[in-house]
Structure 1
């Protein structure tokens, strides 16, 4: 009886340990969330909001988060009161010694770029070692800004004529009426975003993961240039070096995976920005969730991290139709079952 009890205890311990080990990755995963519009109305608890933001999939798989409030500006209190203390703590504890991968969503892409541009100087000036950031995985990246922010700020400042379409778009996106506090919305304006730390010296690869479906019944899309995920256009999520009406991150592959020349594809990228996966049926928010939303294609299926280690996605080609109507599609293995976030996490080195 004692032997059975002992074996049961050992099995339980092993099950718990093995479960935790199955989530262990070679590099530390640091999450940087995006814009949270409810914080413009009610400040709330920044840490609790950050945790809630990622609870669908990533929170339990990460090693740390950098939380920040949407009611502040990136070059202001976000940097001094939220980014700097976290970076200082990481350096003092050697947290990123094995290498850190920043997983960002939406405006987190812009926040990460500001960190990359400044962290070495900030830490060295404090007598600390810079962080070993080997890559960022930017999901629905808003580093190129969002036209919705331009509209929102213009309406708040009275320089945009109010209309039913604008009201519907902003209501869908923000979830409520505009207040007096604009916070990070000012940084998200396209021109402002593209001028914020645009050319970091660090060669950290910024891997891009892109959606093309709206969760707002399309009401926001008329205000966004090119294809969009309901919040940001492909010029931003792909990492294009300028704003334009782009339809794909790849000149050879459509967002739906069709292999054919793309006349309206991004043809120039911000330094070290590399589009990886594209999902036609994924919206801005659903890219973070565990639910599969359709097949995923690869603008590129392989890229090296700053450490030299490779991130790789297996792909296959499927042919549909016949003769003159034959078409070839490129898809990522397991994307018929796994979500975009699952594909990304599974590609991380163990």
Structure 2
């Protein structure tokens, strides 16, 4: 659902784009890939892993990708050897001349935040035109870090207090316990480190958040994450909260299940230009990217503006059930009972 909003309208925005037909070209930035810590892939393998990461839904819809290796650091080779060449190419080809949108998942949110804060200066210093990035769509964003990264590093270094449950949770997430010399981007994913990396970017680019609250790991990893989580990141990270706490929703009057009710511990202060839009307790950290419909989705913000003042949004219905004291009302995004969350975003905000 697209419409033009005046500058006086206060909104958060959502978008849609495709390589064949879209308002804006899409640039994909994938998340953390644990297997790469041990495999340490070469450039060709990194690109193949990047393509595989998005293949279920987003790959054919994108104009470009930033593929990066998880065994490296963000401010090191991830930027210099992998992101920078793509940024130069996007500028030289004019891909973002009329505006483009970055679609990120997980740690891609953190990588992109660093890019947004520096790309204009980098490209200007190289004699190139800065990219006109009108918004980002961040799925299960890890821009606020993950407590699991802190714990994984402690486990890898053999902390004496580590118990079997924690080792099991980290093994479920990473596939195996990493060695101390193969921690790569896990160092950047530590909560304090992530929140210090371009924490207050100058670029006024809206970061539109799609937030999950289910768990693929039998609930085990959630034992070590504060508040509501998606199995890998807590809601302080995925919602884009300005501070770390045990939050139970991205919205003060709306639960992850869509129930309209005052929340006991909602996020009330957000990082600059971070806007949660879709929430669901039916999708997990990894499931949010699939092309499978897993349940209904709710709406934290109805609409949002891109930097070019084009506005995008979703339609929703408030549905009541029960009787008298037991009556409850739920906000449900139209079409979320038919389409996957990724397809919903693509149809309503990008197509």
Same fold (TM over 0.5): yes
Q: Which runs of 5+ in 1 are unaligned?
A: 1-20
Q: Secondary structure at the match of 1:281?
A: coil
Which secondary structure state, in structure 2, belongs to the residue aligned with residue 199 of structure 1?
coil
* 1:263 counterpart SS class: coil
State whether residues 101 and 134 of structure 2, in contact with CA within 8 Å, keep that contact through their aligned partners in structure 1.
Answer: yes
In 1, Cα distance between equivalents of 2:95 and 2:62: 13
How far is the alpha carbon of 1:177 from its aligned partner?
Answer: 2.7
Q: Does 1:144 align with 2:144?
A: yes
Partner Cα distance (2:56, 2:176) in 1: 23
Give secondary structure in 2 for the equivalent of 1:65: strand
The number of residues matched between the two structures is 330
SS of 1:48's equivalent in the other structure is helix
Counterpart of 1:153 in structure 2 is 153
Structure 2 unmatched ranges of 5 or more: 1-17
Q: Distance in 2 between matches of 1:22 and 1:55?
A: 14
2:263 and 2:76 map into 1 onto residues whose CA distance is 40
Task: Spell out structure 1 runs of 4+ moving beyond 6 A.
Answer: none
Q: Distance in 1 between matches of 2:335 and 2:350?
A: 17
Deviation, 1:129, is 0.7
- Taking the aligned partners of 2:62 and 2:296, their CA distance within structure 1 comes to 25
Does structure 1 retain, via aligned residues, the 8 Å contact 2:215–2:285?
yes
Which residue in 2 is equivalent to 1:271? Answer: 272
Q: How much has 1:159 moved relative to structure 2?
A: 3.4
Q: 2:65: which partner in 1?
A: 65
The answer to whether structure 1 residue 29 and structure 2 residue 26 are counterparts is: yes
Between 1:52-61 and 1:232-241, the stretch displaced more is 52-61
Aligned 8 A contact 1:144 1:239 in 2: yes
Cα-to-partner distance string for 1:33-79 (whole Å, 9 max, x where unaligned): 00000000112310000001111111111111100000000001111
TM-score w.r.t. the length of structure 1 is: 0.92
Pair 1:166–1:309, CA change in 2 (3 A): same
Identify the residue that residue 132 of structure 1 maps to in structure 2. 132
Measured in 2, the distance between the counterparts of 1:128 and 1:288 equals: 33
Aligned twin of 1:237: 238
Match of 2:224 in 1: 223
Cα distance in 1 for residues equivalent to 2:226 and 2:61:
34
Matched, 1:87 2:87: yes
Work out the CA distance in 1 between the residues paired with 2:38 and 2:26.
30
Structure 1 Cα separation of the partners of residues 257 and 20 of structure 2? 30
Asked if 1:347 is matched to 2:348, the reply is yes
Does structure 2 conserve the Cα–Cα contact (< 8 Å) formed by 1:151 and 1:160? no
Shift of 1:22: 9.9
Q: 1:38 aligns with which of 21, 32, 35?
A: 35
Of the structure 1 ranges 136-145 and 175-184, higher mean CA displacement relative to structure 2 is found in 175-184
With the length of structure 2 as denominator, give the TM-score of the two structures: 0.92
Q: Cα offset for 1:23?
A: 5.2
Distance in 1 (CA, whole Å) between partners of 2:85 and 2:184 is 20
CA contact (8 A) 2:29 2:102 kept: yes
Say which SS state the counterpart of residue 192 (structure 1) adopts: helix
Give the number of the structure with larger relative contact order, counting CA–CA contacts within 8 Å between residues 6 or more apart.
Answer: 2
RMSD (CA atoms) = 1.2
Q: Point out the structure with max Rg over C-alpha.
A: 1
